[in-house]
Amino acid sequence: MNPEVLLHLDHPLTRLVLGLVCIFAFIGLNGLVLVWVERKVAGHVQLRPGPLHVGPHGLLQPLVDAVKLIGKQLVAPAGSDKILYWAAPLLAFAPATVCFLPLPFDPNLAPMRLNLGLVLILAFSGLGVLSLILAGWGSNNKWGLLGAARAVAQSVAYEVPLLLSVMAVALTAGSLDLYEITAKQGAWPWQWYGVKNPLAFFIFLVCAVAETNRAPFDLPEAESELTAGFHTEYSGMGFGLFFLAEYANMIIVSGVAAALFLGGWQGPFLPGIFWFLVKVYCLLCFIIWLRWTYPRVRFDQLLNLSWKWLTPLALLDFALVVIVAGFGG
Amino acid sequence: MSVSQLVQEAYTGLKSLVIGLGVTGKAFCQPGVTVIYPKEEVDNLASFRGHVELVGKEDDPAVPRCVACGACVKACPSNCLTILCPVAAKEGEEGGPVKMGPAPQKGSKTPGVVIVDFSLCSLCGQCAKTCPVDSLQFSDNPYMVSFDRKDFRIDLLARLRRLAEQ
């Protein structure tokens, strides 16, 4: 090959663009697969088969649903703030794609290596809640507004213990680079931070479910109370983008959890990307399992859990980690 | 609240969460209970309640056991049964066309017309329960569909004759 082409290929911009294209493909494909897994798990938990007729074992069902969503008319309700209304789904989806960039899929597969990758993910995932507020506010709908209000309180409450548990791990590893944190762990479970510091792992998992607005913490979109909460008024791909963003966020929190607590790409014999994806999908299945097991918490329960339990526990954990790290030198 | 109480609360809470996961996990591994209709059909029809149908006599299955007493019509809360039988002709009117009147009619022990309007029926089973000769029972066709409301006004005598022929 012409060496100049190779030089261009190694340019950071080329890597970024290629990475983004791959990420878009990954998010889209994963959305389809996860919707299928979600519905299958829901079906089997409730002693029914789930999607079955479109494609083998209903595998093509999400694809058909996606085509339907794309084909639908985009309607903005009367009295809505058009700019905010249409900005919200884009704003929900865009940060999710950025958060994929620093995820350590494999030591040799880095679209963008940042020494502050963890901070980038936390910062941009914090933007996600802004889109919920805009969606709820812009759609001129009471349910939407209530959902948005809930989203804010929930997001603020759960970001505190989430950050504390992440900080505990970052302090142990002495880095905010997800690649380096992963590299500090070993191939076997007893070398993982999730086993060394199970409390932080537990807190992170609970907060991750809450931050992604998944059941049992799906209060911003609680169907039985708020119709669909912040996305009540969205049709077609407006709703589709929120939906895709939710699944993308699930992958991000699972990916971060895998990297921070489960040794990321580290594993015996097989290539790194395989182990990383296995860990991510195990976590995703666990989150889906949670959704079909637990009923939605009440709002006071939600806030109590965060402020009265998780935040003090996370502080305690953080303090312990600081002491241990201090003694360890 | 003391620390030990808090620990106790956290312990019972977490335990119940794990038990919940166990319940759904077990259910996930069990085979489904739904019937995938076009490929499979239900087989527990003994307990199924279709529209009511007449029961034939043992020696002649085309003729119902019904004695046209009208008890079922009275018992029905939804007024979905119609039973008519020939009215006894008055003196001087013999030889004319046979008039039909609602059961019971003096001297008439067999029904002339038995119609159930299934669109009104609530499947309570009062008619079958009241029948003194056990001439009514639930049919067992779960796949009854139609685009026309009239198809749910079912002539039970004709149906009995058709079934007897088969």
User: Which residue, among A159, A289, A288, A291, has the nearest Cα to A216 in the 3D structure?
Assistant: A291
B57 shares its domain with B90 = yes
Instruction: Please determine, for the modelled complex, whether the ipTM score is greater than 0.90.
Output: no
CATH, residue B150: 3.30.70.3270
As a whole number of angstroms, the distance between CA A106 and CA A111 comes to: 10
B107 shares its domain with B28 = no
Contact A290 B21 (CB under 8 A): yes
B28 shares its domain with B49 = no
B77 shares its domain with B140 = yes
* Residue B28 in contact with partner chain A when CB distance is under 8 A: yes
B89 shares its domain with B51 = yes
- Residue in chain B lying closest to A53 (CA): B36
pTM of model > 0.80? no
User: Which residue, among A104, A150, A97, has the nearest Cα to A127 in the 3D structure?
Assistant: A97
Report residues of chain B scoring pLDDT below 70.
91-96
CB–CB contacts below 8 A, A to B: 35
Radius of gyration of chain A measured on its C-alpha atoms: 20
Residues of B in contact with A52 (CB under 8 A): 36
The verdict on residue B38 lying in a domain is no
Which residue, among A38, A39, A41, A47, would best test binding to B if mutated, counting the most B CBs under 10 Å from its CB? A47
User: Which residue, among A148, A101, A149, A132, has the nearest Cα to A242 in the 3D structure?
Assistant: A132
The verdict on residue B22 lying in a domain is yes
Smallest CA–CA separation between A200 and chain B, in Å?
A: 16
Radius of gyration of chain B measured on its C-alpha atoms: 27
The verdict on residue B40 lying in a domain is no
The verdict on residue B11 lying in a domain is yes
The verdict on residue B39 lying in a domain is no
**Per-residue pLDDT at A241:** 87
B98 shares its domain with B153 = yes
**Per-residue pLDDT at A100:** 85
* Residue B5 in contact with partner chain A when CB distance is under 8 A: no
The verdict on residue B9 lying in a domain is yes
Burial (CB < 10 A; 0-12, 13-18, 19+), residue A2, is exposed
* Residue B27 in contact with partner chain A when CB distance is under 8 A: yes
Contact B28 A41 (CB under 8 A): yes
B93 shares its domain with B18 = no
B66 shares its domain with B135 = yes
Contact A293 B21 (CB under 8 A): yes
The verdict on residue B118 lying in a domain is yes
Contact B32 A45 (CB under 8 A): no
Strands (E) in A26-103, as ranges, are none
Our separate counts of H helices and E strands in chain B read 4, 6
- Residue in chain B lying closest to A286 (CA): B21
> Which residues from A are below 8 Å from B when comparing CB atoms?
41, 43-49, 52, 289-290, 292-294, 309
B63 shares its domain with B137 = yes
Give SS3 for B100. Answer: strand
Q: How far apart are the first and last CA of chain A?
A: 50
Our separate counts of H helices and E strands in chain A read 14, 0
Smallest CA–CA separation between A235 and chain B, in Å?
A: 31
Contact B28 A48 (CB under 8 A): no
B50 shares its domain with B130 = yes
The verdict on residue B99 lying in a domain is yes
As a whole number of angstroms, the distance between CA A118 and CA B41 comes to: 55
B126 shares its domain with B54 = yes
Strand partners for B153: B117
Strand partners for A106: A109
Residues of A in contact with B21 (CB under 8 A): 289-290, 293
Expressed as residue numbers, the domain containing B83 is 45-165
- Residue in chain A lying closest to B10 (CA): A309
The domain tally of chain B equals: 2
B151 shares its domain with B104 = yes
Instruction: For chain A, 329 residues long, give each residue's pLDDT as a single digit of tens.
Output: 566 766 667 777 887 788 888 888 988 898 889 999 999 999 999 988 888 888 888 889 988 988 988 888 888 888 888 888 888 888 888 888 888 888 888 877 776 777 888 888 888 888 888 888 888 888 888 888 888 888 888 888 888 899 999 988 888 888 888 888 888 887 787 778 877 888 889 999 999 998 888 878 887 777 777 777 778 888 888 888 888 888 889 999 999 999 888 888 887 877 778 888 899 999 999 999 999 998 888 888 888 888 888 999 999 999 988 888 888 75
